[in-house]
Amino acid sequence: MATASLQAPFRSMLKLPGSVAARLVISYGLQGIVAMVAVSSVFYFGTVGVLHKNIDEKLLTPSQRFASETPDELAEKIRRQ
């Protein structure tokens, strides 16, 4: 009698891969993964875009200032430092 009661849970486990519960677990798991990837990619590209713009501004400001000056003015500034 004891072996019959132990075999009952294992029989239900054999039916689990094709059951509705298994399909729900797999579908919700995939939906969770897709949601995490979407949120992570939005955060990543938003951060990279802001950093890229900030770096461009930091590089363009001095280069525009240097481009507007003549070589003699730049040489004079270098000598003063």
Banded pLDDT at 12 (limits 50, 70, 90) = low
Please name the helix (run of DSSP H) or strand (run of DSSP E) that holds residue 79, with its range, or none: helix 71-80
- Whether residue 69 contacts residue 76, with contact meaning beta carbons closer than 8 Å, is answered with no
- Encoding tokens for residue 60? 């363009």
Tens digits of residue pLDDT in 43-80? 999 888 888 877 878 888 877 777 777 778 878 878 88
Q: Distance between CA 80 and CA 5 in Å, rounded?
A: 94
CA dihedral 18, 23, 26, 30 (to 10 degrees): 140
- What pTM value is reported for the model? 0.51
